[in-house]
Amino acid sequence: MAEPFGLHGKITATTGNGDALADLLMEAAAGLEAFPGCLLYLVSRDPDDADAVWVTEVWTDRSEHAASLQLDSVKAQIARALPIIAGPPEGRELRPVGGKGVAL
């Protein structure tokens, strides 16, 4: 059985574009509904940094995540977001072991 794969990272938008970046990431999340390997794609705003957006992802395995990055819709969302991203994301890969999810 494949091991679950997770990511948790901070993406910083260019000054004043935190809301726009969060909106683009939420659009990307909607496209992942058709991707059964995505168990969680959570977009969060940072209360202490108006330009920072945190993304937490949980996938059934690493290959499902990699396959998602090959989707034309995901590539298009990344291309739309790049002009308002201030620099490389900060983050970590994770090995999820369990928990609980909630609908917001």
pLDDT digits (tens, 9 = 90+) for 18-27: 999 999 999 8
With 0.85 as the threshold, say if the pTM is over it.
yes
One-letter identity of residue 55: V
**Does the residue 75 lie in any domain?**
yes
Directed axis angle between helix 18-31 and helix 72-81, to 10°?
Answer: 180
3-state secondary structure 1-69: CCCCEEEEEEEEECCCCHHHHHHHHHHHHHHHHHCCCEEEEEEEEECCEEEEEEEEEEECCHHHHHHHC
Assign 103 a pLDDT band (cuts: 50, 70, 90). Answer: low
Residue bearing the bigger pLDDT, 87 or 29: 87
Q: Is 82 strand, coil or helix?
A: helix
Quote the number of domains for the chain.
1
**Does the residue 1 lie in any domain?**
no
Domain of residue 22 covers 14-93
Assign 104 a pLDDT band (cuts: 50, 70, 90). Answer: low
**Does the residue 79 lie in any domain?**
yes
